[in-house]
Chains A and B, each alone.
Chain A
């Protein structure tokens, strides 16, 4: 583990390298307990074209722990948010770094990061089956949670017509 970083340094580190490709960077601080010690959350949007580079850039700073990737269906865009933690071995200095990437529904592809962070495999596979995105270069693209007989082209977390609505509204028709 390299030396610890502060939330401000993390934001600056990314902005220096990628300039305008980083948007909406903000640091949220919250206080807990009677001593009111702070905890830090960093949020930023990374352009899809530099996403893989930004993760490689992050690893040069410190090898992060990838907690999970979550996803939102917001209209014409699918947003994938990678939740990393930095400084996890430093007492009370842990930073939660949330990097979000917007993918248009017409071409929802993203590069895999499982070659540089092998622990990302399950969460990437889950995003593929749940949100219908394509992860380029993933070593194993099979389903994780959905059963093998679940219909193709239906994505449980989508809010459009590829969502699961028709399956739960007409359960008597589906169950044959």
Chain B
């Protein structure tokens, strides 16, 4: 490595398969000139467990629980998209109340995920006190999830044709109290992230994704919206109860008046969405119609119905990280899916990393990579460092570099 550095040619640094930002496996190969990144190559692969193939041996109800285990954070989104795909393929109507209850769960998951992300982002630039503060708020969100579903992480609440647990009137005061708690703390979070000078210095003009690149590379979720593309499944398509509710597609323009597509905009984007989620849950609680929560409670009857279906369906849901889309095909002979394709949001947000990281410094890798909120177990799988002579940077070293840069800026 030292020889290459002396001759001033560009050199390669492999980063990973341990993720530089989150604790998940992905492999980057950076071509560098001094501190500056010239080119990036991303390799995926570590945690591919063949769930799509495994679904061929399971009926749709069993697949729900398999889908839930694709990702710990999106443990509601994947069953939700799968359920929508099955309902579209089999033309199953869902009771109105279940549509509203599904929105409550989806938005609660978004609050958990975005606040977790805010903590991780703060950690990446060296603000560990903020990490503890955000995770304290998230703990409240997880407690509420447990109160509503019985579980903290894998909720097991989705079912085909409805939802498994109702929200009864005696649960409402607790939900309202917690929503008030989130609102109070949201102000504090907003102040920490958006008014702090050092956060601004580290995140403004870092990792820019232009609107044009976001459209061409098919980016999804907060990543694309922070670049000014108004793509949100909740506003674009009528599904669950989103067609009834007052949802607006938010971009950072709503707060600052301009869109830069940098890391700072992605922070704004997620914070605004937390606020939107709180409002959506309150709207749902107020407007929820009475009625059944599941269209067909007898599972064997439902399976018999699905067995006769020959068809295909697509289900889409706006997960915290962006659009998740599932494709399901039934062949009319078995109730097990013939094909099941899962497309998680990070799958589409991998390619936008390349324009984001080009031209940045090594110390910016953690925060830029983290700014898309990547979820590798959703997307993934493997990479091998072939040339053992290459210089390797561990995630601890990378994190140290990032923290040092923040300290330097603060002086």
Contact = CB atoms under 8 A, between A and B. Distances in A.
A144 B271 CA distance: 33
Interface stretch (A11-19, A49-57, A79-87): A79-87
Contacts of A146: 45, 48, 381-382
A32 B241 contact: yes
Interface residue range, chain A: 35 or more
B5 interface: no
Contacts of B96: 33-34
Nearest to A98: B314
A76 to B, nearest CB: 15
A148 B237 CA distance: 40
Given A92-B238, A147-B382, A67 B99 contact: no
A33 B243 contact: yes
Q: Which of B216, B339, B380 has the most CB of A within 10 A?
A: B339
A41 B314 contact: yes
A92 B248 CA distance: 11
A9 interface: no
A33 B323 contact: no
B240 A32 contact: yes
Interface stretch (B161-169, B254-262, B340-348): B340-348
B239 A145 contact: no
Contact of A67 (B243, B316, B329, B350): B316
A99 interface: no
Interface in A47-98: 63, 65-68, 70-72, 81, 83, 85, 87-94, 96, 98
Contacts of B343: 67-68, 70, 123
A123 B350 CA distance: 11
Contact of B217 (A87, A90, A118): A118
A171 to B, nearest CB: 13
A38 interface: yes
A144 B44 contact: yes
Interface in B8-41: none
Given A43-B312, A67-B343, A145-B381, 15 more contacts: A32-B99, A34-B241, A68-B325, A68-B347, A72-B338, A83-B327, A85-B236, A89-B236, A96-B237, A96-B314, A119-B351, A144-B43, A146-B48, A147-B381, A157-B339
Interface of B: 43-45, 48, 50, 52-53, 88, 91, 94, 96, 99-100, 215-220, 229-231, 233, 235-244, 249, 289, 312, 314, 316, 323, 325, 327, 329, 338-339, 341, 343, 347-348, 350-351, 380-382, 384
10 shortest interchain CB distances as A-B pairs = A119-B218, A94-B236, A37-B243, A70-B341, A68-B343, A37-B238, A89-B230, A147-B382, A145-B381, A33-B244
22 contacts: A33-B96, A33-B238, A33-B241, A33-B244, A38-B238, A39-B239, A39-B243, A65-B220, A67-B323, A67-B325, A67-B348, A87-B236, A88-B230, A89-B236, A94-B237, A96-B237, A117-B218, A118-B351, A122-B348, A122-B351, A145-B381, A148-B384
